[in-house]
Amino acid sequence: MSSRSVQLSSSPLLTSKTPVWRSKLIVATIAIAFAGLAVRAAYVQVIDNAFFKHQGEVRFARTLALPASRGRILDRNGLLLASSVPAPSIWANPEDLERDPAKLARLAQLLEMTPADLERKLANEDKTFVWLKRQLDEPVVKDILALDIKGVYSIKEYKRLYPEGEAAAHIVGFTNVEDVGQEGMELVFQKQLSGRQGSRRVIKDRLGRVVEDVGEAVQPVDGEDLQLSIDNKVQFFAYQKLRDAVLDNKAKAGSVVVLDAQSGEVLALANYPSYSPAKRINLSGEQLRNRALTDTFEPGSTMKPFVISLALEKGIVKPETRIDTSGGHLTIAGSTISDSHAHGTLTVNEVIQKSSNIGTVKIAMQMQPRDMWEIYTEVGFGQKPQVPFPGVVSGRLRPYKTWRPIEQATMSYGYGLSTSLFQLARAYTLFSHDGEVIPASLMKVNQPGAGVRVISAENAIAVRKMLNMVAGPGGTAPKAQTVGYSVGGKTGTAHKQEGKGYSGKKYRGFFVGLAPIERPRIIVAVMIDEPSNGRYFGGDVAAPVFSETVQQTLRLMGIQPDMSVKPQTSVQAVEESF
């Protein structure tokens, strides 16, 4: 077969006539397709542009959280009671973990775990996230990351440190591992302390570096610092003395409250048993309870000064009025009230000094129940203290209309009503502040709250003199004396309630007092629960804690002794001989 070449120009195909509509159709189709593309492009870019815009942003824009740091808790002098420090946590992804036995062994060592424990944590390979250990020290984390194990990562977290440890644990409280307050001030002021997290939008490059800010960042608001009225040295010494006393007396527990007598600020508030906020494993409720604020008890004889001050105010007695308490027994409506020793005839001063139940009852029975109820209420019994603290209790004071005569009698020496140690300490501002009760505060205050006048200054001073006699010769608490400072106070010893009646052998010993007596600067209240080492009177178990706490606190406050002290040093320089 021979091939025949045909020139293009002479191709017969060209000579055939093409219908015009064909080319027009093709041009039109292509034009419509382009128009369609143009419309789609306009739609995607102008009208409905959200989708692709979003998709783009997902690939380069990130929102970063700007963490707010938790506020610190400070004492009245600005010393740290609680502060946050970075404590990174270590986590692992078992799915893509590099299982190099040597490295894992070293890791276990750094995490202070046994290799077997670590192995157990990493056993489940389906998991993608396992905490290995939370809140480690920074240097340890650096060492761990230096091992460069694939699948082990660190995450930034914060840990709360409490330099004062167990001495201030009850008042400061603690946070959990998520930095949320659980107890004490950390819980009450959680909102102010935690602040508010901020955020910022950024553009990241392919290496994950932030290269540009987008829009405006929301700045984080750091938590506010919280300044308490606590003085860390007073707090520590009070706790130490209390702890020693509880252990010496083989007691179940104890509390101490130190108030500034003029401003109502709480200088110290401690309880024993306490706990270390850093080691909170196996904590018991016994250790956690802030007894001074959350436990109520019958205050016993510490109530007598209020009855006496009311009697002075109403003109029923004068400090020198003589009361017959002979016999040591008094029967009211079939019940017998007794004194631990029979005293004979006592002046009102001596009724307080010797803590005579009969003397107090004889005075109290000349009053209207309503008047007694009013003074108890005015000094804060049965009222919830106005301090921000979880679980603050109000105690119990029954309405005076329900009082039977015997109840009025027992209430005059502190049975049949209940109070917390904190309330009791605050009530004594009546005597320290010349007849006015002032609000107590756990926060540092610059302007003391206005006091409420309950009795005249004259009568408050008269009662202070009686309280002073308690610590003097012939009083119930000579052990409350200090070197150099005049003190005054009232002992209390109360049978503990058990079920429906009173326990024969279980007691609480109290001492509430103030110092120096002329111009009181501090009020110290001490409670020792179930002392069981032979002695149980407030004057024996609680008064020594009072004495030591007063001695230390007044010295720390730089207050000059108001009593003459025999100097033990020679201030005269001996002339040097040549």
Q: What residues line the site for other proteins (CB under 8 A)? A: 69, 79-80, 83-86, 138, 161, 163-165, 167, 205, 209-213, 232-233, 236-237, 240, 483-485, 552, 555, 560-561, 565-569, 571
Q: How far is CA 3 from CA 11, 12, 13, 481, in A?
A: 15, 16, 18, 138
Q: Is the dihedral of CA 264, 268, 271, 274 positive or negative?
A: positive
Question: Do 271 and 241 contact (CB within 8 A), yes or no?
Answer: no
* Alpha carbon 149 to chain centroid, angstroms: 41
Sheet of 61-66: strand order equals 61-66, 198-204, 210-218
Q: Considering the complex, what minimum distance in angstroms separates the CB of residue 451 from other proteins?
A: 20
Whole-angstrom Cα distance, residue 156 to residue 223?
18
The tokens of 540 are what?
Answer: 């024996």
Q: Considering the complex, what minimum distance in angstroms separates the CB of residue 461 from other proteins?
A: 19
Q: Which of 301, 355, 420, 432 is catalytic?
A: 301
Q: Note every long-range contact of 102-105, with CB atoms under 8 Å and residues 24 or more positions apart, other chains counting.
A: 103/147, 103/149, 104/149
The tokens of 59 are what?
Answer: 């690939």
- DSSP lists the bridge partners of residue 436 as 453
Give backbone dihedrals phi and psi of 124, rounded to 5 degrees, phi first. -80, 105
Choice between 79 and 342, CB closer to other proteins: 79
Q: How far is CA 324 from CA 147, 301, 308, 312, 355, in A?
A: 86, 19, 16, 18, 14
Q: Considering the complex, what minimum distance in angstroms separates the CB of residue 276 from other proteins?
A: 11
Q: Considering the complex, what minimum distance in angstroms separates the CB of residue 240 from other proteins?
A: 8
Which of 265, 255, 240 is closest to 291 using CA atoms?
255
Annotation marks residue 301 as catalytic: yes
Choice between 30 and 85, CB closer to other proteins: 85
- DSSP lists the bridge partners of residue 330 as 337
Whole-angstrom Cα distance, residue 47 to residue 396?
72
Q: Considering the complex, what minimum distance in angstroms separates the CB of residue 237 from other proteins?
A: 7
Choice between 39 and 211, CB closer to other proteins: 211
DSSP state of 396: B
- DSSP lists the bridge partners of residue 92 as 130, 152
Burial class (CB in 10 A: 0-12, 13-18, 19+), 575: exposed
Whole-angstrom Cα distance, residue 368 to residue 214?
76
Q: Considering the complex, what minimum distance in angstroms separates the CB of residue 560 from other proteins?
A: 5
Look up residue 361 and give its amino acid. Answer: V
Choice between 382 and 484, CB closer to other proteins: 484
Q: Considering the complex, what minimum distance in angstroms separates the CB of residue 272 from other proteins?
A: 15
Choice between 220 and 319, CB closer to other proteins: 220
Widest distance between CA atoms in the chain: 159
Q: Considering the complex, what minimum distance in angstroms separates the CB of residue 83 from other proteins?
A: 5
Choice between 255 and 551, CB closer to other proteins: 551
- DSSP lists the bridge partners of residue 268 as 258
The tokens of 294 are what?
Answer: 């959350």
Which of 274, 296, 276 is closest to 285 using CA atoms?
274
Choice between 91 and 236, CB closer to other proteins: 236
Question: Do 89 and 136 contact (CB within 8 A), yes or no?
Answer: yes
Whole-angstrom Cα distance, residue 412 to residue 352?
12
Choice between 569 and 577, CB closer to other proteins: 569
Whole-angstrom Cα distance, residue 313 to residue 268?
32
Q: Considering the complex, what minimum distance in angstroms separates the CB of residue 296 from other proteins?
A: 30
Choice between 38 and 483, CB closer to other proteins: 483
What are the residue numbers of the active site? 301
